[in-house]
Structure 1
Amino acid sequence: MESTEERNRAKVGKLAGIVGIICNFALAGGKFVVGTLVSSMSIIADSVNNLSDAASSIVTLLGFKLAEKPADKKHPFGHARFEYLASLTVAVMIFVIGFELAKSSVEKIISPTPVKFSLVTIIVLIVSILVKLWMTFFYNKKGKQIHSTTLLAASADSRNDVLTTTCVLIAMVVELLTKWQIDGIMGALVSLFILYNGIGLIRQTISPLLGEEATPEFRKEIIDFVNSYDKVLGCHDLMIHDYGPAKRYATIHVEVDKDEDPMTCHDTIDRIERQCLKKFGIHMVVHYDPIVTDDLKAEKLQLKIMECLKSKDSRLSIHDFRIANCSSGTLLVFDLVLPEDMMSQRNQIKEYILHSINKGKSKYLLDVTFDIDTND
Structure 2
Amino acid sequence: MMTLFVKLFIKNKNEVSNPNVKKAYAALSSVVGILLNLFLCIAKITVGFFSNSVAISADGFNNLADAGTSLVSFLGFKIAGYGGGNTHLFGHGRIEWIMSIFTSIAVLLMGIKLAGDSAASIASPDSPVFSMSALAVLLVSILVKGYMFCYNKRFSKITGSETLKATAADCMSDSLATAAVLISTTVSYITHLEIDGYCGVLVSAFIIFAGIKSLWEVLGRIMGQSADQEMAEGVLQIAESYPEIIDVHDLMFHDYGFGYFVISMHAEGYRKHSQQLYIAANQIAYDLKQKFHCDSFIQVDYVLENKTLKDSLMKQIYTVLNEFSDEIEISNFRLIESGPYINVVFDMVYPAKLQKSEEDICNGIKREIESENSKYRTVIKGIIRRERLHLHR
* Distance in structure 1 (CA, Å) of the matches to 2:29 and 2:78: 12
Residue of 159, 164, 168 corresponding to 2:177? 164
Aligned identity (percent) is: 28
Moved more, 167-176 or 333-342: 333-342
> CA offsets, 1:172-210, max 9 Å, x none?
221221121112222323433432332122111111123
Moved more, 163-172 or 304-313: 304-313
Q: Which amino acid aligns with 2:308?
A: K
> CA offsets, 1:202-226, max 9 Å, x none?
1111111233332566545534542
Alignment of 1:140-219 (within 5 A): 140-215=153-228, 218-219=231-232
What displacement does 1:134 show? 2.0
Q: Is the 1:310–1:316 contact (alpha carbons within 8 Å) kept by the matching residues of 2?
A: no
Residue of 109, 129, 133 corresponding to 2:122? 109
2:143 matched to which residue of 1? 130
Aligned residues: 360
Change (3 A) 1:317 1:346: farther
What TM-score, normalized by structure 1, do the two folds share? 0.80
What displacement does 1:307 show? 5.8
What displacement does 1:75 show? 1.0
Q: Is the 2:53–2:196 contact (alpha carbons within 8 Å) kept by the matching residues of 1?
A: no
Which consecutive unaligned segments of at least 5 residues does structure 1 have? Answer: 326-330
Q: Which amino acid aligns with 1:143?
A: S
Change (3 A) 1:236 1:347: same
Alignment of 1:1-376 (within 5 A): 5-31=18-44, 38=50, 40=52, 42=54, 46-215=59-228, 218-219=231-232, 221-223=234-236, 225-262=238-275, 264-292=276-304, 299-306=307-314, 315-321=330-336, 333-339=343-349, 341=351, 344-345=357-358, 347-348=360-361, 363-364=372-373, 367-373=377-383
> CA offsets, 1:230-286, max 9 Å, x none?
222333233321111311112222233334454x44322211211122334432111
* Distance in structure 1 (CA, Å) of the matches to 2:139 and 2:113: 23
* Distance in structure 2 (CA, Å) of the matches to 1:321 and 1:266: 16
Change (3 A) 1:192 1:324: same
Change (3 A) 1:116 1:249: same
Q: Is the 1:256–1:288 contact (alpha carbons within 8 Å) kept by the matching residues of 2?
A: yes
* Distance in structure 1 (CA, Å) of the matches to 2:329 and 2:230: 20
> What SS is found at the alignment partner of 1:173?
helix
What displacement does 1:39 show? 7.0
What displacement does 1:55 show? 1.1
Q: Which amino acid aligns with 2:382?
A: I
* Distance in structure 2 (CA, Å) of the matches to 1:67 and 1:29: 31
Change (3 A) 1:108 1:314: same
* Distance in structure 2 (CA, Å) of the matches to 1:155 and 1:292: 51
Q: Which amino acid aligns with 1:114?
A: S
**Larger-gyration structure (1/2):** 1
Q: Is the 1:90–1:154 contact (alpha carbons within 8 Å) kept by the matching residues of 2?
A: no
What displacement does 1:229 show? 1.9
> What SS is found at the alignment partner of 1:189?
helix
Moved more, 94-103 or 306-315: 306-315
What displacement does 1:79 show? 1.2
* Distance in structure 1 (CA, Å) of the matches to 2:385 and 2:231: 10
Moved more, 362-371 or 230-239: 362-371
> What SS is found at the alignment partner of 2:129?
coil
Moved more, 299-308 or 215-224: 215-224
Change (3 A) 1:165 1:348: closer
Q: Is the 2:111–2:205 contact (alpha carbons within 8 Å) kept by the matching residues of 1?
A: yes
Moved more, 279-288 or 44-53: 44-53
Which consecutive unaligned segments of at least 5 residues does structure 2 have? Answer: 1-14, 320-325, 387-393
Q: Is the 1:306–1:317 contact (alpha carbons within 8 Å) kept by the matching residues of 2?
A: no
> What SS is found at the alignment partner of 1:266?
helix
What displacement does 1:54 show? 1.5
What displacement does 1:58 show? 0.9
> CA offsets, 1:134-183, max 9 Å, x none?
22222222223333221122222222322333222221221221121112
Q: Is the 1:332–1:364 contact (alpha carbons within 8 Å) kept by the matching residues of 2?
A: no
